């Protein structure tokens, strides 16, 4: 049975017109009422609205798309882009976090290490995967695989899709902050190329822990933010319903971040989002990642690490009181 | 304090959960006489003068009051040894962030309130005659949240220490990353951690002192990357704020949750050091953790 279509807020007017059209068509067909003129007019109206709806997406619309339950997830990219995937489990200290994928794989003949936040495709799977929010052991597993990648000279490809690191009591007790900080330090000096792809949600420290490197590629409708728009609204406006305002203030879309110098490249999505034509997106991501890996493969290790540092060093805006 | 400042202070308190107490007078200025402060620990009323003499620790219950950056520097650095650098760096409003109170106005108010251009002060200093680089955060400045300037100054502190082969001591206090600078703030976590790693790779010692409160993006970056991590007694330290944790966990949190004492129990910090012993504790670690080449010279010298 096909899954019921997930309707996003901003699609509602369009969906309503589509429903009306279906009704008219039904009347036309079944009840034999001549309605072709009305049908044509409505169809034209729908086509125009369709174009307007998806061509001029607000940051908040994009957040809805980034969170779309049918949006391709890390496992779909791993299955589609890579061959001979060997998943690696566990942090060797506490457990195996199913919110974090780690493994070895081959991308068009090139051996790589793969990391990625892992959301579920249904409620049951989501509960197992903590809705894609890693525990400390998830980041520690990722770090273990970063070490492996460095030891054997494999580039790292990392997929971001998390609302954030898990904020539970036990996460705190097991050192969530320590796990993230250590991952940041490790990634910053890793002696192999690191290519990051933002495919959906990029929630704060939990995303950043595996979310920066030599290339940051983002899908058009993915977001990357210091805080979720809801929580930002709660804190700054004392009103979670102001999330829409917060989402534009935070400048969290791929286009905004390209402008701020945080993101290197944007991969266009089909009209309406990646879920409407996943294969098209997989192909575009494959091409971008391959190109990045090819370019980075010829860079001397010391230069690679120095450039990564310089890139981080350059992010931020301030002024001097002396000037 | 103007009415506007009073409102902003009150507003800050509402969500940073700073207990209701007077903002301490900045270092250097004379503490006004006859001021009484209520202790958060034992609820006793303490004479401000007594508090100052006791390094702002309650003599009855040992509660450690928050310190401003100037107060902390005065407490830790050898007399007249602290020389600030990077003092010219000031924040701007890179996203033109719109909120009930515009970020630009918030920055101005914070600067007036604290007398500081940003939430961290960095410089060269000596601790018990050990030359070091030092960074101290000041919670009065927008909850010592980390934006571009805080990240830049922390990175410069590490870089200076690396270049001059010096130990670094960082005293943290922060509500986390500064939302009003969006992703630029988040990326400071990576930037400061990268700078910390370079200092570490150079074989130099980093001592981190976590004070009340240290949260979010600061905890989850440079704050916990110290070779040795100390915390002050009773400090609240964590990644997610207790309210969010409680919502997520849907159970009442233990009373000791996210305190220094609980972190020590869970193996996350090296020790809890009372304010009075902090200076000697830091000096002692610096004495032990010298760069490896210095040790081999010392060994060669028959020590």
Q: Quote the tokens at residue A149.
A: 């990648």
Is-contact A156 A195, C-beta < 8 A?
yes
Q: What distance in Å separates residue A315's CA from the closest CA in chain B?
A: 6
Residue B190 with chain A: CB contacts under 8 Å: 184, 187-188, 208, 212, 312
CATH code of B153's domain: 3.90.226.10
Is-contact A260 A266, C-beta < 8 A?
no
Is B148 strand, coil or helix? helix
Partner-chain contact A318 B268, CB within 8 Å: no
**Could you tell me if residue B283 is inside a domain?**
yes
Residue A99 with chain B: CB contacts under 8 Å: none
Partner-chain contact B239 A176, CB within 8 Å: yes
B56, B117: one domain: no
A24, A124: one domain: no
pLDDT band for A8, please (50, 70, 90 cuts).
confident
Q: How far apart are CA A63 and CA A221, in angstroms?
A: 7
pLDDT band for B128, please (50, 70, 90 cuts).
very high
Given a cut of 70, is residue A323 above it in pLDDT? no
φ and ψ at B138, to 5 degrees?
A: -125, 110
pLDDT, averaged across chain B: 88
User: Which of B74, B55, B52, B56 lies closest to B127, judged by CA?
Assistant: B74
B15 part of contact set with chain A, CB < 8 Å: yes
B147, B222: one domain: yes
Q: How far apart are CA A121 and CA A70, in angstroms?
A: 7
A20, A114: one domain: no
**Could you tell me if residue A163 is inside a domain?**
yes
Mean pLDDT of A237-260: 93
Q: Which of A45-49, B79-83, B294-298 has the highest mean pLDDT?
A: B79-83
Partner-chain contact A167 B15, CB within 8 Å: no
B130, B267: one domain: yes
Q: What distance in Å separates residue B72's CA from the closest CA in chain A?
A: 24
Nearest chain A residue to B180 by CA distance is: A250
Nearest chain B residue to A251 by CA distance is: B182
Q: How far apart are CA B71 and CA B82, in angstroms?
A: 12
Per-residue confidence (pLDDT) for residue B295, from 0 to 100:
53
B167 part of contact set with chain A, CB < 8 Å: no
**Could you tell me if residue A3 is inside a domain?**
no
Which residues constitute the domain of residue B128?
A: 66-291
B42, B84: one domain: no
DSSP B37-80: EE-TTT--EEEHHHHHHTTTB-TTT--B----HHHHHHHHSPTT
Is A9 strand, coil or helix? helix
B73, B182: one domain: yes
Per-residue confidence (pLDDT) for residue B23, from 0 to 100:
44
Q: What are the start-end ranges of the E strands in chain A?
A: 83-87, 100-107, 110-117, 156-162, 194-202, 215-219, 265-267, 318-320
Tally of domains within chain B: 2
Given a cut of 90, is residue A259 above it in pLDDT? yes
Tally of domains within chain A: 2
Q: What distance in Å separates residue A266's CA from the closest CA in chain B?
A: 16
pTM given for the model: 0.91
pLDDT cut 70: percent of chain A above it: 98
Is-contact A297 A91, C-beta < 8 A?
no
Q: What distance in Å separates residue A24's CA from the closest CA in chain B?
A: 46
Q: B98-107, B144-153, B218-227: lowest mean pLDDT where?
A: B98-107
B126, B198: one domain: yes
Q: Quote the tokens at residue B220.
A: 């989850």
Pick A316's closest partner by Cβ from B188, B225, B245. Answer: B188
A192, A266: one domain: yes
Distances from the Cα of B181 to the Cα of A145, A242, B219, angstroms: 32, 18, 18
Hey, which residues does B123 pair with through a beta bridge?
A: B84, B134
Per-residue confidence (pLDDT) for residue A283, from 0 to 100:
97
Q: What distance in Å separates residue A134's CA from the closest CA in chain B?
A: 13
- List helix spans (H) across A228-267: 229-232, 243-249, 254-259
CATH code of A188's domain: 3.90.226.10
Partner-chain contact B181 A245, CB within 8 Å: no
Is-contact A157 A127, C-beta < 8 A?
no
Per-residue confidence (pLDDT) for residue A227, from 0 to 100:
95
Is 0.90 exceeded by the ipTM? yes
Given a cut of 70, is residue B73 above it in pLDDT? yes
A94, A215: one domain: yes
Q: How far apart are CA B195 and CA B208, in angstroms?
A: 14
A51, A71: one domain: no
Q: What distance in Å separates residue B139's CA from the closest CA in chain A?
A: 17
φ and ψ at B133, to 5 degrees?
A: -105, 145
Nearest chain A residue to B247 by CA distance is: A168
Strand order in the sheet with A265-267: A83-87, A100-107, A110-117, A156-162, A194-202, A215-219, A265-267
Residue B179 with chain A: CB contacts under 8 Å: 226-227, 232, 235-236, 250
Q: What distance in Å separates residue B191's CA from the closest CA in chain A?
A: 5
Q: Judging by beta carbons within 10 Å of its beta carbon (0-12, 13-18, 19+), is residue B141 exposed, middle or buried?
A: buried
Pick B220's closest partner by Cβ from A177, A189, A251. Answer: A177
Angle (CA) B113 B114 B118, round 5°: 120
**Could you tell me if residue A204 is inside a domain?**
yes
Is-contact B148 B180, C-beta < 8 A?
no
Report the phi/psi class of residue B55: left, alpha or beta, with left for phi > 0 and alpha for psi in -120 to 50. left
**Could you tell me if residue B266 is inside a domain?**
yes
Given a cut of 60, is residue B25 above it in pLDDT? no
**Could you tell me if residue A322 is inside a domain?**
no
**Could you tell me if residue B8 is inside a domain?**
no
Residue B258 with chain A: CB contacts under 8 Å: 172
Q: How far apart are CA B86 and CA B163, in angstroms?
A: 15
A19, A155: one domain: no
Given a cut of 50, is residue A255 above it in pLDDT? yes
- What's the pLDDT tens digit per position in B237-292? 999 999 999 988 888 899 999 999 999 999 999 999 999 999 999 999 999 999 98
Residue A260 with chain B: CB contacts under 8 Å: 94, 182-184
Nearest chain A residue to B220 by CA distance is: A177
Pick B100's closest partner by Cβ from A167, A208, A237. Answer: A237
**Could you tell me if residue A230 is inside a domain?**
yes
B24, B93: one domain: no
**Could you tell me if residue B181 is inside a domain?**
yes
A110, A15: one domain: no
Q: A89-98, A310-319, B19-28, B170-179: lowest mean pLDDT where?
A: B19-28
B36, B131: one domain: no
B72, B55: one domain: no
Mean pLDDT of A14-22: 89
A158, A299: one domain: yes
Q: What distance in Å separates residue A257's CA from the closest CA in chain B?
A: 8
Residue A188 with chain B: CB contacts under 8 Å: 190, 193-194, 197
Q: How far apart are CA A197 and CA A211, in angstroms?
A: 8
**Could you tell me if residue B299 is inside a domain?**
no
Q: How far apart are CA B11 and CA B21, in angstroms?
A: 14
B41, B148: one domain: no
**Could you tell me if residue A276 is inside a domain?**
yes
A70, A207: one domain: yes
φ and ψ at A265, to 5 degrees?
A: -155, 145
Q: What share of chain A is helix, strand, coil (3-state, %, to 5)?
A: 50, 15, 30
pLDDT band for A31, please (50, 70, 90 cuts).
confident
- Of B65, B85, B120, at which residue does a domain stop? B65
A140, A189: one domain: yes
Q: How far apart are CA A200 and CA A118, in angstroms?
A: 11
**Could you tell me if residue A133 is inside a domain?**
yes
Q: Quote the tokens at residue A37.
A: 């003129």
Pick B239's closest partner by Cβ from A165, A208, A245. Answer: A165
**Could you tell me if residue B193 is inside a domain?**
yes
B29, B110: one domain: no
- DSSP label at residue A40: H
Partner-chain contact B194 A320, CB within 8 Å: no
- Interface-testing mutation among A316, A321, A323, with chain B (most B C-beta atoms within 10 A): A316
Per-residue confidence (pLDDT) for residue A7, from 0 to 100:
86
Partner-chain contact B268 A178, CB within 8 Å: yes
Which residues constitute the domain of residue A301?
A: 63-313
- DSSP label at residue A235: I
A209, A242: one domain: yes
Q: Judging by beta carbons within 10 Å of its beta carbon (0-12, 13-18, 19+), is residue B41 exposed, middle or buried?
A: middle
Q: Quote the tokens at residue B229.
A: 């991590």
**Could you tell me if residue B14 is inside a domain?**
no
Residue A212 with chain B: CB contacts under 8 Å: 187, 190
Nearest chain B residue to A135 by CA distance is: B239
**Could you tell me if residue B271 is inside a domain?**
yes
Pick B239's closest partner by Cβ from A177, A186, A249. Answer: A177
A284, A147: one domain: yes
pLDDT band for B299, please (50, 70, 90 cuts).
low
Per-residue confidence (pLDDT) for residue B16, from 0 to 100:
33
Residue B231 with chain A: CB contacts under 8 Å: none
Number of helical (H) and strand (E) elements in chain A, helices listed first: 14, 8
Q: Quote the tokens at residue A158.
A: 């990392």
Residues composing chain B? 303
- What's the pLDDT tens digit per position in A200-218? 999 999 999 999 999 999 9
Given a cut of 80, is residue A310 above it in pLDDT? yes
Which comes out higher in pLDDT, residue A152 or A41?
Answer: A152
What b/e readout covers B205-218, taking b as 16+ CB neighbours within 10 angstroms? bbbbbbbbbbbbbb
Pick B148's closest partner by Cβ from A186, A225, A316. Answer: A316
pLDDT, averaged across chain A: 94
B73, B57: one domain: no
Pairing of strands A100-107, A110-117: antiparallel
Neighbours of A229 (CB within 10 A): 23
Pick B190's closest partner by Cβ from A188, A224, A249. Answer: A188
Nearest chain A residue to B259 by CA distance is: A173
A-contacting residues in B 103-162 (Cβ below 8 Å): 117, 147-149, 151-152, 155
Nearest chain A residue to B147 by CA distance is: A316
């Amino acid at each position: 049975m096909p899954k019921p279509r997930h309707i996003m807020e901003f699609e509602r007017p369009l969906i309503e017109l589509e429903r009306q059209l279906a009704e008219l068509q039904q009347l036309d067909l079944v009840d034999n009422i001549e309605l072709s003129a009305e049908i044509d007019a409505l169809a034209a109206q729908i086509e125009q609205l369709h174009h307007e709806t998806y061509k001029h997406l607000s940051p908040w619309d994009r957040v809805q798309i980034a969170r779309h339950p049918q949006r391709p997830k890390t496992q779909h990219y791993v299955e589609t882009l890579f061959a001979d995937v060997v998943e690696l489990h566990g942090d060797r200290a506490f457990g195996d976090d199913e919110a974090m994928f780690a493994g070895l794989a081959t991308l068009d003949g090139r051996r790589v290490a793969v990391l990625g936040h892992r959301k579920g495709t249904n409620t049951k799977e989501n509960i197992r995967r903590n809705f894609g929010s890693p525990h400390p052991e998830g980041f520690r597993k990722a770090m273990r695989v970063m070490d492996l990648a460095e030891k054997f000279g494999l580039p790292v490809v990392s997929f971001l899709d998390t609302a954030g690191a898990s904020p539970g009591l036990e996460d705190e007790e097991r050192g969530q902050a320590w796990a993230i900080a250590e991952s940041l330090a490790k990634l910053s000096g890793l002696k192999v190329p690191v290519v990051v792809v933002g495919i959906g949600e990029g929630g704060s420290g939990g995303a950043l822990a595996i979310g920066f490197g030599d290339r940051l590629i983002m899908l058009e409708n993915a977001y990357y933010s210091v805080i979720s728009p809801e929580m930002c609204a709660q804190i700054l406006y004392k009103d979670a319903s102001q999330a829409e305002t917060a989402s534009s203030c935070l400048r969290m879309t791929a286009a905004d971040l390209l402008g701020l110098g945080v993101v290197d490249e944007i991969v266009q999505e089909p009209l309406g989002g990646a879920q409407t034509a996943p294969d098209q997106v997989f192909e575009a991501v494959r091409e971008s990642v391959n190109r990045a890996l090819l370019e980075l493969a010829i860079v001397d290790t010391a230069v690679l690490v120095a450039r990564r540092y310089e890139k981080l060093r350059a992010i931020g805006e301030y002024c001097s009181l002396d000037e | 304090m103007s009415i506007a400042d009073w409102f902003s202070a009150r507003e800050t308190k509402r969500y940073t959960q700073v207990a209701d107490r007077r903002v301490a007078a900045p270092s250097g200025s004379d503490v006004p006489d006859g001021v009484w402060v209520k202790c958060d620990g034992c609820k006793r009323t303490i004479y401000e003068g007594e508090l100052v003499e006791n390094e702002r620790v309650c003599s009855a219950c040992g509660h450690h009051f928050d310190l401003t950056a100037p107060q902390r520097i005065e407490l830790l650095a050898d007399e007249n040894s602290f020389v600030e650098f990077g003092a010219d760096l000031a924040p701007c409003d890179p996203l033109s962030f719109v909120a009930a109170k515009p970020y630009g106005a918030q920055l101005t108010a914070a600067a007036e309130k604290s007398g500081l251009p940003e939430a961290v002060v960095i410089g060269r200093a000596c601790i018990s005659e050990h030359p070091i680089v030092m960074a101290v955060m000041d919670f009065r400045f927008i909850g010592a949240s980390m934006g571009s300037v805080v990240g830049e100054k922390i990175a410069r502190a590490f870089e200076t220490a690396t270049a001059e082969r010096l130990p670094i001591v960082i005293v943290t206090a922060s509500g986390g990353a500064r939302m009003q600078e969006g992703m630029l703030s988040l990326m400071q976590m990576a930037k400061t951690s990268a700078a910390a790693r370079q200092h570490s790779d150079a074989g130099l010692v980093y001592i981190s002192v976590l004070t009340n409160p240290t949260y979010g993006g600061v905890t989850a970056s440079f704050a916990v990357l110290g070779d040795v991590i100390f915390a002050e007694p009773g400090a609240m330290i964590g990644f997610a704020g207790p309210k969010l944790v409680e919502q997520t966990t849907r159970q009442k949190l233990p009373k000791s949750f996210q305190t220094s004492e609980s972190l020590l129990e869970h193996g996350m910090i090296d020790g809890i050091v009372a304010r009075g012993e902090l200076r000697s504790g830091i000096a002692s670690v610096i004495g032990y953790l010298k760069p490896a080449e210095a040790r081999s010279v010392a060994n060669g010298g028959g020590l």
